[in-house]
A and B are shown apart, each in its own frame.
Chain A
Amino acid sequence: MPLPHGWIGTTSEWVRGFGIAFALLNLMLLFFAWRSLRGGAVTPTGRGWLFVAVGLVPLMVAFLSFAHGLEESTTVAACGSCHVMTPFVQDLQNVKSDTLAATHFKNRFIRESQCYTCHSDYGLGGTIRAKFEGLGHVWRYTTGAYELPIKIAHPYPNVRCLGCHGDSQKFLNSAGHPKEGMQSLMDGTMRCIDCHAPVHPEQKKAASR
C-alpha cells in the first residue's frame, strides 16, 4: 500500500536511522583516536578524540541500539527467526487458517508484535518477565536444549485475553459468556482457550531440529 502523503517515518525508523549514523560516526572517530596514539604518547588532541570516541558517542549508540533492539525483538519476524517457530508463524500469516492466532492476525485484532502481545503479561513486570523468558528461549535454542514438539512453558493465563476483551461489549453480551460463568473466567478455573481452540496448528511429533 502507498504511504500516506507527508509520511516522515515512524519513531522506530528514525531511531534506526540515527543509530546507524551514530555507529558509523563512532567507528570513524575510533579510527582517528587510534591514529592519535601512534606515537606511543597520549597527546592533548588524542585525549579529545578518545573522550568523544570512547566516552560520549558510544553512550548514544548504546541508547539507540537498545531502544531499537528492544522494540524489534518483539516483532513476528524476530520470533520467526528461530526455525522451530516457522510452523507457528506460517499458520499465523495464513489467511485461510482459522486458528485463534491466525484469526487475530488476519483481522488485525492486534496491529503489530502479535506473538509478543499474546505471550507477555501486561505492565512493566510483564515486559521484564517476557524478556527474561526470551533470554531462556535464546539459550535453549542455541544450545539445542529443547524438545519437539514445542510446548508452552506455563498454562496460558486468561488475563492476557481479558486485558483486551474483558471490557468489550461483544464479550460481555455474548451468549457464550453467561454472567454466571464470568467468575470462573476471571479466577482462571475455566480457561478461554479451552473453548476457543485451536490456538496454533498441531505440531508433527516427528519434526526435526
Chain B
Amino acid sequence: MHRLPRPGPSRAEEGGQPLSQSGLAARLLRVAIVLAAIFNILALIVIVHTTPIGFTLFMFVGQPLFAIAFLLLLGAILADLRARQIL
C-alpha cells in the first residue's frame, strides 16, 4: 500500500494559490502593472517638462490609475491571505 501513488500537496498548501484563482490573480496583477506604468510615464512627463496640461493629466488620470493599480494589488494580497486561511 505504501508504494501506491498519493496526491501531492495542493498549490495552496505549497504557498501558491489554486490554479484557476492564481491565473485570475496573475491577470489582474498584470493590469495593475500596466496601470502603474502609465502612471509612471505621466509622472515622468511632469517631472521632465511641466506644463499645465501635463500636470492636469497626471493629477486627474495618472493618480486615479495608480489608485486602481494599488487596489488591485491589495485585492490580490487579501485573496492570497484568504486562500491560505490566514484571514
Contacts and interface: CB of A to CB of B under 8 A. Distances in A.
Give the contact-size bracket for chain B.
35 or more
A27 B80 contact: no
A69 B66 contact: no
12 contacts: A19-B43, A20-B47, A23-B47, A41-B17, A42-B80, A43-B16, A44-B15, A50-B73, A54-B36, A65-B58, A69-B54, A134-B52
Contacts, number: 125
A157 interface: no
**For chain A, what secondary structure do more than half of its interface residues adopt (helix, strand, loop), or is it mixed?**
helix
Contacts of B54: 69
Contacts of B72: 54
Contact of A41 (B22, B30, B41): B22
Interface of B: 11, 15-17, 19, 22-23, 25-26, 29-30, 32-33, 36-37, 39-41, 43-44, 46-48, 50-56, 58-59, 62-63, 66, 69-70, 72-73, 76-77, 80
**For chain B, what secondary structure do more than half of its interface residues adopt (helix, strand, loop), or is it mixed?**
helix
- The winner among B59, B63, B80 for most chain A CB atoms within 10 A is B59
A78 B40 CA distance: 21
A137 interface: yes
A51 B69 CA distance: 11
A19 B41 CA distance: 12
A30 B33 contact: yes
B40 A23 contact: yes
Contacts of A23: 40, 43-44, 47
Contacts of B36: 26, 30, 53-54, 58
